[in-house]
Every structure is written in C-alpha cells, then in structure tokens.
Amino acid sequence: MSTRTAYSVWDRTTRLFHWLNVLCIFGLAVLGIAILNEKAFGVSAEGKLLLKTLHTYVGYVFALNLFWRLVWAFIGGYYSRWKRILPFGRGFAASLRAYVRGLISGNPPTYAGHNPLARLMVTLMLMLMLIQAGTGLVLAGTDLYKPPLGSVFAMWVTEGDPEKLSRLQAGSKEHVDPAAYDDMRAFRSPIVTTHKTTFYVLMVTILLHIIGVVVTELREKNSLVSAMITGEKVLSDSPVDTTGKIE
C-alpha cells in the first residue's frame, strides 16, 4: 500500500479568490441571462435597470477580486505565482508533452500545483475574465454612467452641458444630445458584442474546467477538489513540482 503525503499547495488568499470568483461569476451569469432574455422573462424597464445595476455592483467585486489575484501572482505563495501559472518558461513544452504522454498511457506525472494542461486552461480563463472585466467596466459607464468611465460618457452624451448633466439619468434618453448619444451607442455596440461573445466562451471554458477537475480527481485521486478548501493535496507519488515543503 502506497504512502500518501500531504503537501501544502494553495495559500489562503488564492483559495479565497477562487471561491469569491465562483460566486461572482455565478451571480453575473444569472443576472446577465436575465438581462439578455428580458422580454422572455417579462422584465419591465425599471426591472431591467435594476438588473443592470446589480450586475454592475457584482461586476465591481469580480473585477477587484481578479485584480488582486493578478497582484498576488507576484507576491503570493509558491504555487500561486506567475511562474507556476502561465504556460511559458524553459521546459514547459517538454513537461506538457510528458504529461500528455502520461495521460495517454494512464500514468501521468504527479503535480502538486497546476499540471501543464491546467496551466493552459487557467491562462485562457484569466484572459477571458480580463476581457469581461474590462468590457464590463466600459458598459457600466455607457448604460448607467457608473465609475470608472461613467463621467466620460455622461459628458459625451450631453456634450458637457451642465444643465443636461445635472438631469441625466441612467437608462433614459432624456437630457442627452441625440447625435452625441447615437455616436456613443455606436461606439458601445462592438463592446457589447465582445462582452456577450466572451461570456459564452467563458461559460464553455468553465464547463471544460469542471469536467477536467472531476476527471483528474477520479483518475489520479489527488485531492484536487478538497485542496481548494483546505490548501493541501494528499498525494501517493512525489510531485515533480514540489518545493520540498511537506506538512
């Protein structure tokens, strides 16, 4: 019977980021689907405005949480840093080939942190989330005139008229310059398309991520799921990416 050893892998900040990110994406997805299907759900104009406002506030939490994770990748724990996340660096291509060969043969190398395939997936998800956060902040400014760009768009659609600015309301076409408003909406259109498309791609990517986690957990029995709760992986084989720190 092989000896199983506990390795300290995910620090507390990384675990908190992960679960807060899960909650934010779930909330944003539910609210986003409701907004996209407003007519089917019979949502009123006031209800749609409320949904967009809630979507924006959850989006702020999502964006701040994501920003902190990017910073933490410079200063966080060994397995939380960029070097252990991004699919770059000397030897990555070789480790990816070795891992894929191991998967095919049924005996993949053991990793305490992200394996090479997981690093590809995490990088893709980070890129998609960054696009969502960036486009979402722009859209919060175009629709609701919320920070950080809301004042810029408010000035745009009112052409800087102080009286119109003071009366401008989210979700209303009153007190705007029609030509300027149309120009702003034309600018907004491709950003909306990007936000929607990236949302669908992100949902598919998350589904693949969940499937990959479940399959890996069942095949390798490496405490992959529980490690994001406890911070520890319990492994039978010595991981190829260990720091040497064992608890």
Residue 243's pLDDT is: 61
CA torsion sign, 182 to 183 to 189 to 195? negative
For 135-181, the pLDDT digits (tens) are 999 999 998 999 999 999 999 999 999 999 999 999 889 999 999 99
For 75-133, the pLDDT digits (tens) are 999 999 999 999 988 889 999 999 999 988 988 898 999 999 999 999 999 999 999 99
SS3 242: coil
Residues forming beta bridges with residue 246, ordered by sequence position: 7
Would you say residue 247 has pLDDT above 50?
no
- 129: tokens are 């989330």
- Locus of tokens 């800087």: 160
Rounded CA gap, 161 and 145, in Å? 15
- Comparing 224 with 79, the larger pLDDT belongs to 79
For 185-209, the pLDDT digits (tens) are 999 999 999 999 999 999 999 999 9
For the question of whether the overall pTM of this predicted structure is more than 0.75, the answer is yes
- 39: tokens are 């007519």
Residue 63's pLDDT is: 98
Domain boundaries, the chain: 5-137+202-235
Would you say residue 231 has pLDDT above 80?
yes
- Residue 246: pLDDT band (50, 70, 90) is very low
- Residue 216: pLDDT band (50, 70, 90) is confident
Residue 2's pLDDT is: 58
Rounded CA gap, 201 and 92, in Å? 25
- Residue 18: pLDDT band (50, 70, 90) is very high
**Which of 120, 125, 137 has its CA nearest to residue 198?**
125
If you average pLDDT over residues 10-38, what whole number do you get?
97
- Comparing 223 with 150, the larger pLDDT belongs to 150
The share of the chain scoring above pLDDT 70, in percent, equals 97
Q: CB-hemisphere CA count at 13 Å for 10? A: 24
